[in-house]
Chains A and B, each alone.
Chain A
Amino acid sequence: MVKKNEDAVTYRDVNENPCNMCMPMGGILALKGIEGAMVIVHGSQGCSTYMRRHIAEHFNEPVDVGSSALNEKGTIYGGEKNVRLALDNIIKVYRPKVIGIVTTCLAETIGEDIKRIANQYVLDRGMDGFPIITAATPGYGGSHFEGYFFTLKRVIMELTRSTKKNNKINIIIPNISPADIRELKRILEEMDIKYVLCPDFSDTLDRPFSRPYTKISDGGTKLADIAAMGGGLATIQMGVTIDDAISPGKYLADEFGVPLYNIPIPMGIENTDGFIQTLVEITGKVIAPSLEQERGRLLDGMIDSHKYNFSGRSVIFGEPEMVYAVTKTCLENGILPAVIATGSQEGRLHELLRVALVDVTEENTTLIETDFANILAASQDAKVNIGIGPSDGRYLTEKGEIPLVRLGFPIHDRVGGQRLLSLGYTGTMMLLDRITNTLLENKYKSYRSSIYEKFYQQS
């Protein structure tokens, strides 16, 4: 069988309808999962506003992010004054426990040493011990996906201390939904396992309605817990597609000797089994009977749906880590991953896919650092009949009549992106139902007319 995925990085002179966002966006998301955190984007005013708008529309939450509001003068003479003023004002209005500063194209191009600026500020203000986390995240340096993990690594580099051993497992959380994060916590609690989830934006970006309103939401990974991650029992990182250079788990292993278990997002039977087995391996605990029940229900549901799923020819797109997990889930259920695409950099996705797809006899295409114009063209070539990914994929629906199962970030044209549950046995079942029902809906919509057109002849 011909496989087209040998030259996966799509060369082009122009990006037509982007399938990724920029590094500081990922940085903001990661920092929003830290207790009492405020974020400053060091760059021109628009960067923070665009990112706030994007995040606010997905989560339906207020997303306050400061900007150093670099102007012409700051661009020429350096933006230190702006950063200091931004820190002053943010501290005054928000009283954060920690501040993250992510940089932008502009700040990095003019050569700002943001770490030095932050250190000097803490010194001058007599704020010894106040944590300011800086991350160099130029928009041209990578996508929001790399920005997320790199910033998270910086959080841990700044906050984690050498400490005595504790009995908690560090869990490095990728960009999944707040509902997914809550599901992971539930699984850990079912297993009676102590943990530190980092980052944890399950409350900060999906907070319950309550009065009075507070400018900084409750929740997020506690600073003391992050400090103690160096003494963790082990680290489970859901980041198999990322490079070591941006790996928070690798840093914890190298710096503090915390054993690293780098596993895929627990979506699908195999990946969820892998997660549970890892927990058992680390702690020696027995698998909670309730999880066995959930697993059994997922298997039962997979059997119920398998013939419908057989008709699925999918295009899977978005962030590498999510794309990999969805691909594995599709493969388990007989849905062909006909086109697999990400706008992000290669990382390890391509080599992982090569292994995952080794038994697939049908033609399939992998696109790395690609855009939606390429994804559409490949999907039409491959006669794809379902798309799985963020809401920008509505372009595939509009131009290519490919129905879309919305998953990941961002979801702008539907409500509830933050409530989508797709992980663990139960979450996988819910995702699979969404996929199967989309296939069914499409089939019911067209089968009468298509069969009529194909066979009916007036006698």
Chain B
Amino acid sequence: MFDNNMGTIAERDGFIVTKGKNKKQLQCDADSSAGCVSQRACVYCGARVVLNPITDAIHLVHGPIGCASYTWDIRGSLSSGSELYRNSFSTDLKERDVIFGGGQKLTAAIDSLMKKYQPKLIFVYSTCIVGVIGDDLQAICSLAAQKYQIEVIPVESSGFIGNKSAGYRAAADALLRLIQPVNSVVMEKTNSINYLGDFNLAGEAWIIHNYLRQMGVKINVTFTGDSNYESLKLAPKAKLNIIQCAGSMIYLAGKMEELYGIPYIQISFLGIEDTAASLRKIASAVGDESTMAKAEALISQETTRVEAMIARYREKLKGKKAAIYVGGGFKAISLIKQFREIGIDVVMIGTQTGRQEEYDTINSLVDQGTVILDDANPAELERFMMEKGANLLVGGVKERPLAYKLGMAFIDHNHDRKHPLSGFEGAVNFAEEVYSTVCSPVWNSLMKSHIGSGVEGHG
């Protein structure tokens, strides 16, 4: 009944390469193929993760209940102010709404939310069926915005219009609409920068703010970790954008350069090497000699402090092999370097939504024989981790049980994390987390294959 070619899917060939073995370029940024068990989420998910950290916004999902249910407060973004963003609102469309249209329900939902919360900003997310039944989101949102004199911004995130990257773009379009000054007045620039692509997971943006403050560099607003209506409105005033999570933010940065004349540079605060390099890059871009000097002082003080702590872990971890499967390319690139800092080589690496230039960088950084893959599935992860003898996997919630079932250590590098992995503090946390899982005594118990085995002198 079945052919003998078990386990290989022809459509996936172009998305997997082994460095040094294949001449071909890796394919990426394509829609997932049916039945491949992709680990990717949808357009709505991409949009929601980018916008959700805006703390005083109402996030209203126009659609059936599931979309709001699966995204309620599952992300670890922290707030210094409003907690409104931690609620999940839905128009909870039912069969009759699908038949007769959900527009009235949406208007009623906005009315009741205004009454209860008086927000200044509402994002209305479109879901799959809204795209099909044709509710006029734009018109309904404009009417509500006029009625209440607030921002009601539609987010075009119907699940079927593309993959998670399309959701990043939808979020960027919503953000561009939000930050556009009234009557397109030109805002005066201040001596400050915007920080794009940090969602303040476990307070990571706060850590970076502290570094920059010590260097005398002022952050205007962060997109979108711990941001709010007021702070985002002032975004055009910055004179430089620094981008961390490029996958979700590079389009926005390009647009802001075009519209507001704000240039951008790419940085990353994952690992000591990238953190230090990024601080220097920022100091030289916006500061003077004293900024540079402050940056160097900070780097040297922090590096000295954390290197001793990390060295102890490196001793225990040297020679282990890592597999990486994360959402975006920037994270994957930084992780390669970060693993080197603790003596670990990367033998398999992939992302859900990495871009071509990011894969080129990955290819230039990894050793010969490393498997690189885009939009991988559990079967491929299993196969290459076993083939390459990986000792640990870095990934998200869905990948964790697979690693554990294979008897392999695991690092949670997802939006749900409860401890910061950014900056110098984060580098120590990272090393400690790797140590906590790779060197755990539980793996010793697995060496005994059954009851009594491996126990000397028994019986």
**Residues in chain A within 8 A of chain B (CB atoms):** 12-18, 20-22, 24-25, 40, 43-54, 56-57, 59-72, 74-75, 82-83, 85-95, 104-106, 109-110, 126-127, 130, 138-141, 143, 207, 209, 211, 213, 215, 343, 373, 392, 395, 412
Contact = CB atoms under 8 A, between A and B. Distances in A.
Nearest to A24: B66
Contacts of B94: 140
Contacts of A53: 70, 396-398
Contact of A44 (B7, B90, B159, B404): B159
Contact of A67 (B3, B7, B35, B162): B35
Contacts of B127: 105
B2 A14 contact: no
A105 B64 contact: yes
B93 A140 contact: yes
A127 B3 CA distance: 12
A155 B249 CA distance: 45
Given A44-B128, A130-B1, A143 B65 contact: yes
A29 to B, nearest CB: 14
Contacts of B2: 91-92, 95
B88 A141 contact: no
A109 B32 contact: no
Contacts of A71: 31, 160-162
A65 B37 contact: yes
Interface in B1-45: 1-3, 5-9, 11, 31-45
A44 B46 CA distance: 13
Interface residues of B, number: 81
Contacts of B11: 89
Contacts of B377: 93
Nearest to B396: A53
B341 to A, nearest CB: 30
Contact of A47 (B6, B31, B66, B74): B66
22 contacts: A13-B111, A15-B65, A16-B87, A17-B72, A18-B92, A21-B70, A49-B41, A50-B42, A56-B397, A63-B401, A67-B35, A69-B38, A75-B131, A88-B35, A92-B2, A94-B379, A138-B64, A140-B97, A140-B98, A209-B446, A215-B379, A215-B382
A60 B6 contact: no
Interface in B199-247: none
B34 A67 contact: yes
Interface string B45-85: 10000000000000010011111111111100000000000
Nearest to A60: B401
Contacts of B68: 15, 18
Given A14-B89, A20-B69, 5 more contacts: A18-B88, A44-B128, A62-B401, A92-B6, A209-B407
B88 A17 contact: yes
A86 B34 contact: yes
B35 A15 contact: no
B112 interface: yes
Given A53-B70, A71-B160, A13 B112 contact: yes
B70 A54 contact: yes
B58 to A, nearest CB: 9
Nearest to B380: A93
A50 B66 contact: yes
Given A62-B401, A109-B133, A86 B35 contact: yes
B105 interface: yes
A105 B65 contact: no
A207 B5 CA distance: 28
A50 to B, nearest CB: 4
A69 B34 contact: yes
Contact of A85 (B33, B93, B109): B33
Contacts of A94: 379
